[in-house]
Copies of this chain bind each other. A is one copy, B any other.
């Protein structure tokens, strides 16, 4: 057991709440601050994408024994349901029994705060942190940025306050702080597929639904109440864009033409389209993540990524797993804990940022492409036969806890091999022959 410290966690989101549980179980006093009201007492909707919990997320939850509580609010999705304009294809995510899990962000966040309070963490809502003094872990709290501030001193402060972190904002103003934020020219908007009258799902419940259309796409993930949370990803400007759809009729015509099987299941389409905000998508990278043994950033506050691999929360939770490993290894030597935590995590955060950025192309374009689906079939067949020689990239990211950076590197190597395989004459007919299998084995030797 470590020496008990007084620790502030800034941000009561998913990562902040789970981190609070870990820190409480390690014997510390934990105060979790949030500038917003208690999410358990307000409606939370209109701008979120359902979460897809996968192996890294579950592992971090299991580390403090809260996996089962979360599993109660999760729906397994073992496949993609790919809605082409004229047909519906299915594509399994992994091996038999492997699924990712759809969870509503609001529902999970409420649950995580409940669990953290049960563990003994204290939550302080509607407390606006405007600044932090790095060398003595003092928070500066007040109603407005230019008004009176109160000071609260801690032994240590964690910034779990998201992509626009105030804690990081202070660190950015140090010399030698590397930082980047890059917005996509694409936004997203939440839509809704309500449940049937009998609370059953209108589409296949255990699928991640995608309508891939190249420059834009629609997705839908199931909720417990029979509804689906839908998200439309589309450029802000240009031909098919949020800016181009300016009235109800244009929105309805656009969906009728491009997502014909969605029209009947999204009854409030035009209402939601104009009521719900259009949100931005940002990739944020920085380094260092920590200051001495006083301050550490975690989750989106140090590595915000685009959502196309469903790994944002999973990566944030894995930060906690790694931090906890370092705590178990180095005990009270928090300088060492923080130094090793950031060195271990940084290359993996960069790798999942890259993979997530690339995956928009895979979801929006390649899932509609016969060649890509053939590649997936070949990989699956080879992987089934030689599980020690080939784990597909998606499985490495989603169903393993091997480093993201390794997944990225091996995935690139596998792609080079598959490009050669797909160039074999008549590959669409001979893809499951021993000839192809041997060719892959041969290329793996190189």
Question: A-side interface residues toward B, CB under 8 Å?
Answer: 146, 175-183, 280
Question: Is B180 a contact partner of A181 (Cβ separation < 8 A)?
Answer: yes
Specify which of B175, B179, B180, B183 is in contact with A176 (CB 8 Å cutoff). Answer: B183
CB contacts (< 8 Å) of A176 on chain B: these are 183, 280
A173 nearest CB neighbor, chain B only: B164
Q: List 16 A-B contacts (CB under 8 A).
A: A146-B146, A175-B183, A175-B280, A176-B183, A176-B280, A177-B181, A177-B183, A178-B181, A178-B182, A178-B183, A179-B179, A179-B180, A179-B181, A180-B180, A180-B181, A180-B182
Bound Cα distance from A176 to B184, whole angstroms: 8
Closest residue of chain B to A183 (Cβ to Cβ) is: B176
Question: In the complex this chain forms, how many copies of it are found?
Answer: 2
Closest to A149 in B: B146
A146 neighbours in B (Cβ, 8 Å): 146
**A346 to chain B: closest CB distance in Å?**
14
Identify the closest chain B residue to A140 (Cβ).
Answer: B146
Identity of the chain B residue whose Cβ is nearest the Cβ of A172 in the assembled complex = B181
Given A176-B280, A178-B182, A179-B180, 13 extra CB contacts under 8 A: A146-B146, A175-B183, A175-B280, A176-B183, A177-B181, A177-B183, A178-B181, A178-B183, A179-B179, A179-B181, A180-B180, A180-B181, A180-B182
Of all chain B residues, the one with the shortest Cβ separation from A185 is B176
CA distance in complex: A175, B183 (Å):
8
Contacts of A182 in B (CB 8 A): 178, 180
Smallest CB separation, A282 vs chain B (Å): 9
Q: Which residues on B sit within 8 Å (CB–CB) of A183?
A: 175-178
Chain B residues with Cβ below 8 Å from A177 are 181, 183
Q: Which residues of B contact A181 (CB under 8 A)?
A: 177-180
